[in-house]
Amino acid sequence: MGLMTPLGSGKTQAAANLFKGSREGMRTRDDLVPKRSVLVAEAMGEAPPLPAAMAKWDCRNNRMTAAALEEIRPDIERAVARYGRDRIAVILGTSTSGIAEGEAAYAQRLGSGQWPAQFNYAQQEIGGLSEFAQAYLGLTGPAYTIATACSSSAKVFATGRRLIRAGLVDAAIVGGTDSLCRMTPSGFTALGAVSAAPANPFSRNRAGITVGEAAAVFLLEKEHGEIVFMGIGETSDAHHISAPDPSGIGAESAMRAALRDADCEAEDIAYVNLHGTATPLNDSMEARAVHAVFGADTPCSSTKAMTGHTLGAAGACEAAFLWLTLSQRYNPERLLPPQMWDGVRDEELAPLRLSGPGDRFSGDGRVAMLSNSFAFGGSNVALVLGRTPS
C-alpha cells in the first residue's frame, strides 16, 4: 500500500499522524470558493512533475497518484517479473480527476482567448487516471476508472478481485485519487454542506464537511500477505440524488453483505472506520445502520475529522488507514484511529462507541476491520480487511 494524504505522504508519516489525531493538513484558502475563505485538508509531501514523455497527463491528481505508486514500485516490479506486464490490471477511482488544471486553463482562455499551450484535455478526463497509471508503470493489462462519487475507490477492490478470480489477470493495482479544485468546495458550499471549522462527525454541533484530497494505491494479489482483503458489500439505494436513505437500510445491507463475504460475524470486527462526513443526514443514517449491525460496543471513528472528505479517494484512503491500523510494523501498539471531535454527543443519534486517543484493539489471532463509503445517488460500499496470525 502506498499513500499521499493530509496525514502524511508514505506509511511511516501517515501512521504517526493517524494514531495521534493530527490535523496538520488543514489549511484555510481563499482561492477555491469565490469571495469566501474555506477550510480544506491538503495532502502532505511533494508530488513531483511527471517525466516529459507524460506531459499530456501532467496534473496534480496524476502527480499525487505517481507519488503513491512510487512507494510500492518495488512490489509492482516484482509482480511484473512474476506475472508479466499484460497480467496486471489497473483499476482506480476518482471523482474530480485533473479538473483543477481544466479550471485554470478555462480561466486563461476567458481572459486571453487562448488555451494554455501545456493544457491537454486528457489531464481532466475521468478515465485518464487509470490510463495514466498504466502508462506510468508500463503495464498492458486491463485499465479503467470507476467514478461513483465518494464510493469510487472502495468499489475498485471488488472489480480488481473479480478480474483476478475470472482469470483475466493475476494481480491488480487498485485505489484512487482526488485532488483539490474549485468545483467541489464551491459545489458543497452551494449545498450548504461545508463547515467553517474542522469536520465534527457525530457531534450535536456538527455543521458539515471539510473537503480534502488524497491518493492511495494497493497491489492486490491471490497470495495472502500480512494484510488480507477479506470481503466487500455493495448496495444501491437510489433514494435521492444527494441525500441518503434516512433508514440506513442500504448502508446496513452493504455491511451485512461484507461480513458474509468475509465469513465474519459482527463480533469478529475489531474496529469500524465510519464514513462520518459530519453532515446531519449522513451521520444520523450511518449511526442507525452501524448500531443495527454492531450495537454500541464495537470501537469506531471517522478519520474525516483529520483528513477532510477526500471524495472519490475516500474509500481507498480509509482502507489505507485500516491497513496501517492492522499492520504490526506501522502500529505495533495496536492503537485505534481516534475520533477527533468536541465530545458533545447527539442524543438523537443511535449510540456508538467512538474511540478515543490511546484506545487499542485486542486479539492474538485473525483480526478483521471494516470501512464504510457512501456516495451520492445511494452507492454504498463496505470493505473488510484483516490481519493473518503471525
pLDDT at 76 over 90: yes
Q: Can you read off the three cell numbers belonging to residue 339?
A: 475520533
Per-chain mean pLDDT for the chain: 96
| Tally of domains in the chain | 1
Please state the rounded mean pLDDT for residues 128-157: 97
Whether residue 202 is predicted with pLDDT greater than 70 in this model: the reply is yes
Work out the pLDDT band at 77, boundaries 50, 70, 90. very high
Angle between helices 60-71 and 73-83 (to 10 degrees): 70
Q: Which of these is catalytic: 150, 181, 300, 317?
A: 150
pLDDT above 70 covers a percentage of the chain that reads: 99
Q: Is 317 a catalytic residue?
A: no
pLDDT band at 151 (very low <50, low <70, confident <90, very high): very high
Question: 169 lies in which domain range?
Answer: 2-387
The one catalytic residue among 59, 181, 309, 317:
309
- Cα 179 to chain centroid distance, Å, stands at 12
Residue with cell 443526514: 281
Query: Among 275, 291, 300, 317, which one carries the catalytic annotation?
Result: 275
Of the pLDDT bands very low, low, confident and very high (cuts 50, 70, 90), residue 176 is very high
What pTM did the predictor assign?
Answer: 0.97
Residue with grid cell 461484507, as numbered in its chain: 258
pLDDT at residue 389 is higher than 80: no
How far is residue 23's CA from residue 44's CA, in Å, rounded to a whole number?
A: 11
Sequence-ordered list of residues with C-beta below 8 angstroms from that of 109, at least 6 positions apart, any chain: 115
The confidence score (pLDDT) of residue 223 equals 87
pLDDT at residue 167 is higher than 70: yes
Q: Provide the CATH number for the domain around residue 62.
A: 3.40.47.10
Q: What is the reported pLDDT for 224?
A: 80
Find, among 162, 190, 196, 193, the residue nearest to 28 by Cα: 196
Catalytic (active site) residue 275 = yes
pLDDT at 16 over 90: yes
Query: What does the pLDDT read at residue 240?
Result: 86
pLDDT band at 34 (very low <50, low <70, confident <90, very high): very high
| Predicted confidence (pLDDT) at residue 238 exceeds the cutoff of 90 | no
pLDDT at 150 over 90: yes
At residue 346, φ and ψ (nearest 5 deg) are -95, 110
CB neighbours (10 Å) of residue 360?
A: 13
The 10s digit of each residue's pLDDT in 44-64 is 999 999 999 999 999 999 999
Mean pLDDT of 70-83: 98
134-146 tens-digit pLDDT = 999 999 999 999 9
Is-catalytic flag, 59? no
What is the predicted pLDDT for the residue at 390? 61
pLDDT attached to residue 172 = 98
pLDDT digits (tens, 9 = 90+) for 211-237: 999 999 999 999 888 999 999 999 998
pLDDT at 295 (0 to 100): 98
Cα 297–302–307 angle (5° rounding)? 160
CA neighbours within 13 Å on the CB side: how many for 299?
A: 21
- Asked if 183 and 101 touch (Cβ cutoff 8 Å), the reply is no
Give per-residue pLDDT as tens, 283-334: 999 999 999 999 999 999 999 999 999 999 999 999 999 999 999 999 999 9
Measured CA to CA, the distance from residue 308 to residue 302 in angstroms comes to 10
| 362 against 148, higher pLDDT | 148
Q: How confident is the model at residue 358 (pLDDT cuts 50, 70, 90)?
A: very high
